[in-house]
Amino acid sequence: MRIVIAGAGAIGGYIGAKLAKAGADVVLFARGPHLLAMQLRGLRVLSPDGDFDVRPQVTGDLATIGHADVIFLGVKAHGLTSLAPSLRPLFGPDTAVVSTQNGIPWWYFQGYGGELDGLRLERVDPGGVIAGAIEPRRVVGSLAYFATEIVEPGVIRHTEGNKISFGEPDGTKSDRARTIADPLIAAGFRCPINQRFRHEIWVKLLGNVAFNPISALTGGTLEELARDPDVSTVVRALMAETEAVARTLNIELPITIDQRMAGAEKVGAHKTSMLQDFEAGRPLEIEAIVGAVVELGERLGVAMPATRTVYACAKMLDEKSRSAKAGAVAQRLATVARRL
Distance CA 239, CA 214 (A): 12
- 290 in Cβ contact with 124 (< 8 Å): no
DSSP 163-174: EEEEE-TT----
Closest by CA to 164, choosing from 298, 331, 5, is 5
- Vertex 150: Cα angle to 107 and 279 (nearest 5): 85
C-alpha 2: how far from chain center = 22
Closest by CA to 72, choosing from 213, 189, 196, 155, is 189
What are 35's strand-pairing partners?
A: none
What are 147's strand-pairing partners?
A: 160
Name the active-site residue from 163, 204, 315, 320: 204
> Number of helices (H) and strands (E), helices first, in the chain?
13, 9
Please say if 18 is a catalytic residue.
no
Burial of 332 (0-12, 13-18, 19+ CB in 10 A): exposed
Catalogue the active-site residues. Answer: 204
